[in-house]
Structures are given as C-alpha cells and as structure tokens.
Structure 1
C-alpha cells in the first residue's frame, strides 16, 4: 500500500469514527484523543490528513447533507417529483413544498445529533467553497416548486426566496424540538409546519407580490 493510499484509508476511518461520535453524542462528544484511540493511530497522525478538527467536522457534515439529499430525493421520487425537477402545476408545487418541509422535520427527529451539528459548528472563517456549493445544491430542491409558483422571478430572486422559506421551516423545527423552550409533539409540530408552508405556497403568486422589485436581493 502506498503512502497516499494509507492516508486515504486513515482519512476514511477518521471520518467514520467522527461521524459515529457525533451521531451518538453530538459535537461535544468529538475528541481528538478518542478518535485516535478508536482508529488506532497516533494523535498527531490525525493532523497529517486534516489540518484541524474543523475540517474533519465539515467532512462529517458533508455526509449529513448527502444523507438528507438522498432522503428528500427518495421522497420526491416516490411521490412523482424526483431529483430537482419542477412539479407539473401549482397544486403539485405547493404539495412539494409542504412535503419537503415535513421531510426536514422527520430528518431532524431521526438524526437529531447530526442535524444539530450542521448548525452548531462554528468556524472562525467562512466554510470552504466546496461545502457552500453543497448547501446551495440542496436549495435547488426548494427552488424547483418555486419556479412554478413564481415563474416571474429570476434565478437570484428565486434562490433568495428558497432560503427564506427554509429559514421559516428551520425556525419552526428548531423551536418545536427545543426541550428548553417549547417542545411540541411531532403531530402538532407537523400540522404547524404544514399549515404555515401551505399558506406561504398559496400566497406565492405573481399577482400577490407587492412589488416584483422588492423580492429581489
């Protein structure tokens, strides 16, 4: 085995171990010494394949983003959507938005520690471009139904609207699942999300926009 192959093997083992640690105990459970012990390497060996733990956490979070994308793609495909394709009409587009929001709730409930790690991880600098590109790619699943509801918007305005809709959904999920604030049962939280997202979807028509220029970034 070449040196590069050994590096890649160690890299994969460290991501696997970090992924397990985060999934079981959250970001606070991620300790360099524990990782080294788990994969059977020296502590310093970690930093021969990752510059720091931030880079390792980003690799785990990337896997989480990919897992979420597989989840929403499977849901959309099973209901006649599939990939990033736009729904056939306004009714289907609204249903798609609601389905995406509910899928996000289910993902947060089924993978709580991994989901929280996406938002709890703080870096001193902006995340690297490759990670930001993966985030943007996920928003295209929201942009697809929005292109049916607001065909008058250009790509930039539609992307901003997709982020706004995600922020609204994420806020409801975060508050609803926060045990220290206002924990809601899953059925109640789901109904709340369905009601709000459907109301937003029904209101998203060009004629209801106060001013097309106002929705542009």
Structure 2
C-alpha cells in the first residue's frame, strides 16, 4: 500500500474544506429563511441561490431536502441541549432542578421561536429517522435523569422515563399554547410561573 501523493492529498483537503464551508453556508442560509418565513418556506432552488451554487450542486452538500431538514434539526437540538445543560446545573435540589430545566426549555423556545417550531413542523418524505437523529432526541431527556432518580428512588428506570416524558409533554404544551400568536398573549413571567407550578405539582405527586 502506497502513501497518497502530496498533490492529491492537498487537493482532497481543499475539496473537503470547500464542502465544509458550503455546508455551513447552507445551514446558515436555511436557518435565516426559517427565522424569517418558517420552515414551510424552505425551497431547494432558493437555498442554492442564497449560497451562489447551482441547484444540482445543493445535492453534493446534502442528500435531499429530508437530509437538510434533519441536519437543521440536529443543530437546533444541539443548542437546546446546551441550554438544558445550563439549566440542570443551577441547583442539585431535584424539584428546583426540574423547574430550571423546564424554564430553560421555555426560554429557548421563546428566544428561538421559528427554529424551535421547525423541530415539530418539518414534513419529511421518509418517516424513518436516522439513528443519529433519534439519539439526539433521546439525549435531551438525560438532563432529567438525575433529579427523577432522586425523586423516585424506588421506581424502575422505565417508570421514571415515562414520568419524565409525560412531564416534558406537559411543559411543551404550555410553551406551545403560550407562544401561539393567534391566542391571547400571555406574559412570559406568567408562563414561567405556570411552568414552575406544573413541575412542582407533578413532583409532589410522584414523590408521594
């Protein structure tokens, strides 16, 4: 087996850097369009024009529009994961920790409204999600593992996971309704108070 010729290696490195730059530009252009117009406005031809490539060149960067949207979701979930991580480190007291995580979720949704909505509004032609996307979704729940274990020490991991997901669904519902522009606006402070109350009430029930 021979080493790669220096010239070929340099060329491969240049191509790799160019593709990475194009990928980053594509992600930023897509996020900009989502923020401005919502995920339904994403069109391959528009995005290709945004970054100055031919339509066919777009599919040298991503496999198809499903791939594009899943990778956009991955970026958003990465930011959300960091926000939840920050919330989880506020305190070690389990109820307060779960409240902080829930509020971090709400704050992220409020501050990144269109990108957050896109996580739930993407319409994929192929419903079978890749493993890396599923893993990212499941990974968001890990921040609740510690406080749930302290609140429910005698319960199985499966039971704690079910309660954690139910609690997440309830917090998500408050966020969705509260941030829905067509309904009567609810001040952020009021929504935050509702979220704290919900988490406190749920924790009191599961710990009893």
Q: Which contiguous aligned blocks of 4+ residues in structure 1 show a shift greater than 4 angstroms?
A: none
Q: Partner residue of 1:201?
A: 203
Q: Partner residue of 2:4?
A: none
- Contact 1:175–1:182 (CA<8 Å) still a contact in 2? no
Q: What is the root-mean-square deviation of aligned Cα atoms in Å?
A: 1.7
Offset of residue 100 of structure 1:
1.1
The 1-side partners of 2:190 and 2:174 are apart by 11
2:148 matches 1:146: yes
The 2-side partners of 1:23 and 1:142 are apart by 29
Offset of residue 4 of structure 1:
4.1
Q: Partner residue of 1:183?
A: 185
Q: Partner residue of 1:56?
A: 68
- Contact 2:48–2:54 (CA<8 Å) still a contact in 1? yes
Highest CA radius of gyration, 1 or 2?
2
Query: Map of 1:67-146 to 2, 5 A cutoff?
Result: 67-77=79-89, 79-80=90-91, 87=92, 92-124=93-125, 125-146=127-148
Bigger shift: residues 112-121 or 122-131 = 122-131
Offset of residue 182 of structure 1:
4.4
Q: Partner residue of 2:157?
A: 155
The 2-side partners of 1:52 and 1:14 are apart by 13
The 2-side partners of 1:73 and 1:103 are apart by 9
User: CA offsets, 1:91-119, max 9 Å, x none?
Assistant: x1000111111111111111100110011
The 1-side partners of 2:157 and 2:133 are apart by 21
Query: TM-score, structure 1 length as denominator?
Result: 0.83
Bigger shift: residues 58-67 or 28-37 = 28-37
User: CA offsets, 1:145-169, max 9 Å, x none?
Assistant: 1011011222222222211110010
* Unpaired segments ≥5 residues, structure 1: 81-86, 209-217
Query: TM-score, structure 2 length as denominator?
Result: 0.86
